[in-house]
Amino acid sequence: MFCPSCNNTLQKLSVTTNGRGRFNVDHCGHCGGTWFDPYEINRVPFHEVTRLASITVIPKHPISREDSLHCPRDRKLMAHFHGDSVPRGVVLHRCPQCFGIWATQKALAEFKKHQEEIVTEYKISHKPFPALSMIFAPAIALVLLLITTAVTILNFAQTQDNRSRAEELVKQIFVQNITSSSVLLSFQTVSPVKSYISYGETPLDFRSQTISKELKTTHYILLNYLTPSTAYQYQLTLNDAKNAFTTPIAYFTTSQ
Protein backbone atom coordinates (compact mmCIF):
# COMPACT_ATOMS: atom_id res chain seq x y z
CA MET A 1 0.00 0.00 0.00
CA PHE A 2 1.13 3.53 -0.73
CA CYS A 3 0.91 6.66 1.36
CA PRO A 4 -2.08 8.82 0.32
CA SER A 5 -0.15 11.97 1.23
CA CYS A 6 3.28 11.39 -0.29
CA ASN A 7 3.03 8.11 -2.23
CA ASN A 8 5.82 6.31 -0.39
CA THR A 9 5.36 2.67 0.55
CA LEU A 10 3.54 2.20 3.84
CA GLN A 11 5.26 0.05 6.41
CA LYS A 12 3.38 -2.41 8.63
CA LEU A 13 4.03 -1.70 12.29
CA SER A 14 2.68 -3.56 15.26
CA VAL A 15 1.11 -1.53 18.07
CA THR A 16 0.03 -2.70 21.52
CA THR A 17 -3.37 -1.85 22.96
CA ASN A 18 -4.11 -1.09 26.60
CA GLY A 19 -5.71 -4.51 26.78
CA ARG A 20 -2.35 -6.07 25.83
CA GLY A 21 -3.58 -6.98 22.38
CA ARG A 22 -1.64 -6.21 19.24
CA PHE A 23 -2.63 -5.11 15.78
CA ASN A 24 -0.88 -3.70 12.74
CA VAL A 25 -1.10 -0.21 11.36
CA ASP A 26 0.33 0.98 8.05
CA HIS A 27 2.72 3.80 8.69
CA CYS A 28 4.53 6.15 6.33
CA GLY A 29 8.11 6.65 7.46
CA HIS A 30 8.47 9.58 5.11
CA CYS A 31 5.65 11.92 6.16
CA GLY A 32 4.65 10.26 9.43
CA GLY A 33 1.04 9.57 8.45
CA THR A 34 -0.72 6.40 9.59
CA TRP A 35 -3.51 4.31 8.07
CA PHE A 36 -6.04 2.67 10.39
CA ASP A 37 -8.52 -0.01 9.43
CA PRO A 38 -12.03 0.53 10.84
CA TYR A 39 -12.15 0.89 14.66
CA GLU A 40 -8.39 0.78 15.04
CA ILE A 41 -7.84 4.48 15.56
CA ASN A 42 -9.94 4.14 18.70
CA ARG A 43 -7.76 1.35 20.04
CA VAL A 44 -4.31 2.77 19.60
CA PRO A 45 -3.17 4.13 22.99
CA PHE A 46 -1.58 7.57 23.22
CA HIS A 47 1.85 6.21 24.19
CA GLU A 48 1.93 4.22 20.95
CA VAL A 49 1.16 7.38 19.00
CA THR A 50 4.18 8.95 20.64
CA ARG A 51 6.27 5.93 19.75
CA LEU A 52 5.15 6.04 16.11
CA ALA A 53 6.09 9.72 15.98
CA SER A 54 9.52 9.03 17.44
CA ILE A 55 10.50 6.56 14.72
CA THR A 56 9.75 8.93 11.88
CA VAL A 57 12.12 11.64 10.84
CA ILE A 58 9.91 14.12 9.07
CA PRO A 59 11.68 15.91 6.23
CA LYS A 60 11.88 19.68 6.54
CA HIS A 61 10.42 20.37 3.12
CA PRO A 62 6.64 20.28 3.00
CA ILE A 63 5.01 17.16 1.64
CA SER A 64 2.13 17.05 -0.79
CA ARG A 65 -1.28 18.63 -0.27
CA GLU A 66 -3.66 17.41 2.37
CA ASP A 67 -6.79 17.54 0.23
CA SER A 68 -8.27 15.02 -2.19
CA LEU A 69 -6.39 12.06 -0.78
CA HIS A 70 -7.23 8.58 -2.02
CA CYS A 71 -7.71 5.49 0.13
CA PRO A 72 -4.54 3.35 0.07
CA ARG A 73 -6.69 0.19 0.01
CA ASP A 74 -9.29 0.85 -2.65
CA ARG A 75 -8.27 4.23 -4.15
CA LYS A 76 -11.65 5.82 -3.29
CA LEU A 77 -11.53 9.55 -2.66
CA MET A 78 -11.48 10.06 1.08
CA ALA A 79 -13.61 12.67 2.83
CA HIS A 80 -12.75 14.84 5.81
CA PHE A 81 -14.17 13.25 8.89
CA HIS A 82 -15.85 15.70 11.22
CA GLY A 83 -17.55 14.45 14.32
CA ASP A 84 -17.99 15.47 17.91
CA SER A 85 -14.95 13.37 18.70
CA VAL A 86 -12.65 15.34 16.41
CA PRO A 87 -11.34 18.59 17.92
CA ARG A 88 -11.65 21.75 15.87
CA GLY A 89 -8.84 22.23 13.39
CA VAL A 90 -7.93 18.53 13.30
CA VAL A 91 -8.45 16.84 9.95
CA LEU A 92 -8.91 13.08 9.67
CA HIS A 93 -9.56 11.53 6.27
CA ARG A 94 -12.07 8.68 6.08
CA CYS A 95 -12.65 6.31 3.17
CA PRO A 96 -16.38 6.10 2.28
CA GLN A 97 -15.92 2.53 1.07
CA CYS A 98 -13.83 0.69 3.66
CA PHE A 99 -14.18 3.18 6.57
CA GLY A 100 -10.46 3.20 7.17
CA ILE A 101 -8.97 6.42 8.50
CA TRP A 102 -5.85 8.24 7.38
CA ALA A 103 -4.27 10.57 9.90
CA THR A 104 -1.22 12.75 9.55
CA GLN A 105 1.20 12.58 12.46
CA LYS A 106 0.02 15.89 13.88
CA ALA A 107 -3.69 15.15 13.46
CA LEU A 108 -3.28 11.73 15.06
CA ALA A 109 -1.47 13.15 18.09
CA GLU A 110 -4.08 15.89 18.55
CA PHE A 111 -7.02 13.54 18.09
CA LYS A 112 -5.69 10.94 20.53
CA LYS A 113 -4.72 13.56 23.09
CA HIS A 114 -8.24 14.99 22.95
CA GLN A 115 -9.74 11.49 23.23
CA GLU A 116 -7.60 10.68 26.25
CA GLU A 117 -8.47 13.96 27.95
CA ILE A 118 -12.19 13.31 27.60
CA VAL A 119 -11.86 9.78 28.88
CA THR A 120 -9.73 10.89 31.85
CA GLU A 121 -12.16 13.66 32.70
CA TYR A 122 -15.07 11.26 32.79
CA LYS A 123 -13.10 8.68 34.75
CA ILE A 124 -12.13 11.20 37.43
CA SER A 125 -15.55 12.76 37.77
CA HIS A 126 -17.37 9.38 37.78
CA LYS A 127 -19.89 10.95 35.48
CA PRO A 128 -21.62 8.57 33.11
CA PHE A 129 -19.92 8.44 29.76
CA PRO A 130 -21.26 10.82 27.16
CA ALA A 131 -22.48 9.69 23.78
CA LEU A 132 -19.89 7.40 22.29
CA SER A 133 -19.63 9.68 19.29
CA MET A 134 -18.05 12.26 21.59
CA ILE A 135 -15.07 9.99 22.01
CA PHE A 136 -14.91 7.71 19.04
CA ALA A 137 -14.27 8.50 15.46
CA PRO A 138 -16.50 6.34 13.29
CA ALA A 139 -20.08 6.10 14.50
CA ILE A 140 -20.51 2.63 13.10
CA ALA A 141 -22.19 -0.49 14.51
CA LEU A 142 -22.94 0.12 18.14
CA VAL A 143 -22.17 -3.39 19.32
CA LEU A 144 -18.70 -3.23 17.86
CA LEU A 145 -18.16 0.16 19.40
CA LEU A 146 -19.17 -1.21 22.78
CA ILE A 147 -16.60 -3.94 22.46
CA THR A 148 -13.83 -1.54 21.49
CA THR A 149 -15.02 0.78 24.24
CA ALA A 150 -14.43 -1.87 26.84
CA VAL A 151 -10.97 -2.50 25.49
CA THR A 152 -9.97 1.10 24.98
CA ILE A 153 -11.47 2.94 27.90
CA LEU A 154 -11.82 0.66 30.86
CA ASN A 155 -8.30 -0.65 30.57
CA PHE A 156 -8.87 -3.39 33.12
CA ALA A 157 -5.78 -5.51 33.54
CA GLN A 158 -7.82 -8.61 32.83
CA THR A 159 -9.38 -7.20 29.69
CA GLN A 160 -8.22 -9.44 26.93
CA ASP A 161 -7.94 -8.05 23.49
CA ASN A 162 -11.19 -9.19 22.02
CA ARG A 163 -10.21 -9.53 18.42
CA SER A 164 -6.94 -11.34 18.92
CA ARG A 165 -8.77 -13.76 21.23
CA ALA A 166 -11.32 -14.29 18.49
CA GLU A 167 -8.54 -14.89 16.01
CA GLU A 168 -6.97 -17.45 18.33
CA LEU A 169 -10.29 -19.24 18.66
CA VAL A 170 -10.94 -19.56 14.93
CA LYS A 171 -8.68 -21.97 13.06
CA GLN A 172 -9.40 -20.94 9.51
CA ILE A 173 -12.43 -19.53 7.72
CA PHE A 174 -13.46 -21.10 4.42
CA VAL A 175 -15.70 -19.31 1.95
CA GLN A 176 -16.83 -21.87 -0.62
CA ASN A 177 -19.51 -22.60 -3.22
CA ILE A 178 -19.55 -18.96 -4.24
CA THR A 179 -22.43 -18.14 -6.58
CA SER A 180 -24.00 -14.84 -7.62
CA SER A 181 -26.39 -14.96 -4.66
CA SER A 182 -24.93 -17.24 -2.01
CA VAL A 183 -21.76 -18.42 -0.30
CA LEU A 184 -21.04 -21.25 2.09
CA LEU A 185 -18.96 -20.12 5.02
CA SER A 186 -17.40 -22.62 7.39
CA PHE A 187 -14.78 -22.67 10.13
CA GLN A 188 -13.60 -24.65 13.10
CA THR A 189 -12.88 -23.33 16.55
CA VAL A 190 -10.30 -24.66 18.99
CA SER A 191 -12.93 -24.88 21.74
CA PRO A 192 -16.74 -25.16 21.63
CA VAL A 193 -18.52 -21.83 21.09
CA LYS A 194 -21.83 -20.46 19.90
CA SER A 195 -21.33 -18.40 16.79
CA TYR A 196 -22.94 -15.53 14.90
CA ILE A 197 -22.12 -13.65 11.74
CA SER A 198 -22.65 -9.99 10.88
CA TYR A 199 -22.31 -9.12 7.23
CA GLY A 200 -23.18 -6.47 4.69
CA GLU A 201 -21.72 -4.24 2.03
CA THR A 202 -20.55 -1.82 4.72
CA PRO A 203 -20.60 -2.03 8.52
CA LEU A 204 -23.49 0.45 8.42
CA ASP A 205 -25.83 -2.13 6.92
CA PHE A 206 -24.57 -5.21 8.71
CA ARG A 207 -27.24 -7.80 9.38
CA SER A 208 -26.73 -10.65 11.83
CA GLN A 209 -27.48 -14.34 11.68
CA THR A 210 -26.93 -17.18 14.09
CA ILE A 211 -24.51 -19.82 12.83
CA SER A 212 -24.36 -22.27 15.77
CA LYS A 213 -27.02 -22.07 18.49
CA GLU A 214 -25.24 -24.69 20.59
CA LEU A 215 -21.61 -24.84 21.76
CA LYS A 216 -19.70 -26.46 18.87
CA THR A 217 -16.29 -26.62 17.23
CA THR A 218 -17.49 -27.04 13.62
CA HIS A 219 -19.54 -24.19 12.22
CA TYR A 220 -21.10 -23.54 8.85
CA ILE A 221 -23.74 -21.31 7.32
CA LEU A 222 -25.15 -20.74 3.85
CA LEU A 223 -25.64 -17.03 3.25
CA ASN A 224 -28.44 -16.42 0.75
CA TYR A 225 -30.06 -13.55 -1.10
CA LEU A 226 -26.78 -11.81 -1.80
CA THR A 227 -26.22 -9.33 -4.63
CA PRO A 228 -24.11 -10.51 -7.62
CA SER A 229 -20.54 -9.23 -8.08
CA THR A 230 -20.57 -7.54 -4.70
CA ALA A 231 -17.88 -7.31 -2.06
CA TYR A 232 -19.25 -8.12 1.38
CA GLN A 233 -17.62 -7.46 4.72
CA TYR A 234 -18.24 -9.80 7.62
CA GLN A 235 -17.31 -10.44 11.21
CA LEU A 236 -17.83 -13.49 13.38
CA THR A 237 -18.87 -13.26 17.01
CA LEU A 238 -17.98 -16.25 19.15
CA ASN A 239 -19.53 -16.85 22.52
CA ASP A 240 -17.97 -19.43 24.83
CA ALA A 241 -20.78 -19.05 27.41
CA LYS A 242 -18.65 -16.64 29.44
CA ASN A 243 -17.37 -14.08 26.96
CA ALA A 244 -18.09 -12.93 23.45
CA PHE A 245 -15.28 -12.27 21.00
CA THR A 246 -15.51 -10.64 17.60
CA THR A 247 -13.10 -11.23 14.75
CA PRO A 248 -11.65 -8.42 12.64
CA ILE A 249 -13.55 -7.57 9.46
CA ALA A 250 -12.97 -10.00 6.58
CA TYR A 251 -14.27 -10.00 3.02
CA PHE A 252 -15.83 -12.17 0.32
CA THR A 253 -17.14 -11.30 -3.13
CA THR A 254 -20.09 -12.92 -4.90
CA SER A 255 -19.74 -14.04 -8.52
CA GLN A 256 -21.45 -12.46 -11.54
Binding-site ranges for Zn ion (CB under 5 A): 3, 5-6, 8, 28, 30-31, 33, 71, 73-74, 95, 97-98
Residues 6+ apart with CB under 8 A from 52: 13, 15, 25, 27, 32, 34, 105, 108
| Residue number with CB closer to Zn ion (67 or 214) | 67
Q: What is the nearest approach in angstroms of Zn ion to the Cβ of residue 23? A: 17
The least distance separating Zn ion from the CB of residue 22, rounded to whole angstroms, comes to 23
C-alpha span between 58 and 33 (Å, rounded): 10
Residues 6 or more apart whose Cβ sits within 8 Å of residue 189: 169, 170, 171, 195, 216, 217, 219, 238
Q: How near is the Cβ of 130 to Zn ion at its closest, in Å?
A: 29
Shortest Å distance, C-beta 193 to Zn ion: 31
Cβ-based nearer residue to Zn ion, 6 or 13:
6
Cβ closest to Zn ion, residue 49 vs residue 169: 49
Burial of 125 (0-12, 13-18, 19+ CB in 10 A): exposed
Give whichever of 34 and 162 is closer to Zn ion, judged by the CB atom.
34
Q: How far is the CB of 39 from Zn ion (least distance, A)?
A: 14
CA distances (Å), origin 108, targets 24, 56, 174: 16, 14, 36
* Minimum gap (Å) between residue 73 Cβ and Zn ion: 4
Long-range contacts of 248-251 (CB under 8 A, 24+ apart): 248/23, 248/37, 248/163, 248/166, 248/167, 249/37, 249/38, 249/203, 250/173
Which residue, among 69, 1, 67, has the nearest Cα to 37 in the 3D structure? Answer: 1
Smaller CB separation from Zn ion, 62 or 128: 62
Which CB atom, from 8 or from 155, has the smaller least distance to Zn ion?
A: 8
Cβ 72 to Zn ion shortest distance, Å: 8
The residue among 10 and 153 lying less far from Zn ion, judged by its C-beta, is 10
The radius of gyration of the chain's CA atoms, rounded to the nearest angstrom, is 19
Give the integer Cα–Cα distance in Å for 8 and 29. Answer: 8
- Residues 108 and 122: their CA atoms lie apart, in Å, by 21
Rounded CA separation 206/232 (Å): 10
